[in-house]
Amino acid sequence: MYVNAKPCETRGRDNPGMTNNNQELQDLLDNNKRWAAETESREPGFFSRLLKQQTPQYLWIGCADSRVPANELVDLLPGELFVHRNVANVVVHSDLNCLSVMQFAVDHLKVRHIIVVGHSNCGGVKAALYDLRVGLVENWIRHVQDVRHMHREWLDTVDEPRRVDALCELNVLEQARNACHTTVVQDAWARGQEVVVHGWVYGLHNGLLEDLHITAGSADAVDAAYRRALAGVKSRYATAA
C-alpha cells in the first residue's frame, strides 16, 4: 500500500505523534533560516567574518537552565562569548569537561575574563538545599551540598523564602573561588597572563545580572576577594532585628 511512499511519510502515517514532533523540529530549522537571513541582512558578511576567527574576551560558566541564555543576557553576538554550562554552574577539579573548556579559553583564545554566573531560584541549588531526590543528577549537586554544609550555620539564620537564593549566591562564590584555584588559571597567572575571575548572579524575576564582587586577577587577590564577597552576601541576607 505504501510502496511509493517516502520512509518518513510512512512512519508519520503509522505514528501521528512523530509527525507532530517533526513539525516542532522543523519550526526550529525555519527559525534558524529566518535568523540567519536577518543577521546577514543587518550585517552583510557577518558569517564569513565569523568563519575566519573566534576572539571572545569572556568565558561564561553558567547554569544549564533554559531561562538563562548567556549571549542574550549580555547582548553579545556569536563569537563574542565562550560558554560552558552545567547544572548549578559548578566548577570542580574532577570535571574534565569544564577544565578543558577553561584551558582552551585561556590558553588558546586568550580570554581576559572568566565569569561564573548563577541565577535565582535555581532548581539544582534548591534540590541541594532540601535534599530532594532528583535522580542521577543528585551525584552532581553533591558539590552544591558541600557549599550548603560549609555555610549551614549561617544559612539557617536566613528567612526561609530567601534561603534558596542565598545558597545560589554562596554557590557562585565557591565556584568562582574553585575556578581561581584550577591549574589553568593558576598557570596563567604564574606566566603573567591577564585573566580575571568574576562571580555574578542573574535574577529570573527582573532579568538583571548582579556583580557579587568576587573579582580576582592574581593568586594573591583570591582570599581577600572571597572574604569581601562573602561579607556582602551575608549583609544582604541579614535577618532584620
Active site residues: 63, 65, 67, 119, 122
> What is the C-alpha separation between 179 and 216, in angstroms, rounded?
10
Grouping H, G, I as helix, E, B as strand and the rest as coil, residue 213 is coil
**Under 8 Å between Cβ of 205 and 222:** no
- What are 200's strand-pairing partners? 117, 211
Identity at 224, one-letter amino acid code: A
- Single-letter residue type at 5: A
Q: Write out the H or E segment, with its range, that includes residue 146.
A: helix 142-150
Closest CA to 186 of 70, 84, 107: 107
Question: Which three-class secondary structure state does DSSP give residue 132?
Answer: coil
Residue 216 has what DSSP assignment?
B
Cell numbers placing 98 = 569544564
| Cell 549571549, located at residue | 71
The cell numbers describing 132, all together, are: 530532594
Contact status, residue 53 vs residue 80, Cβ threshold 8 Å: no
CA 224, 226, 227 angle in degrees (round to 5)?
A: 65
Contact 241, 181 (CB under 8 A): no
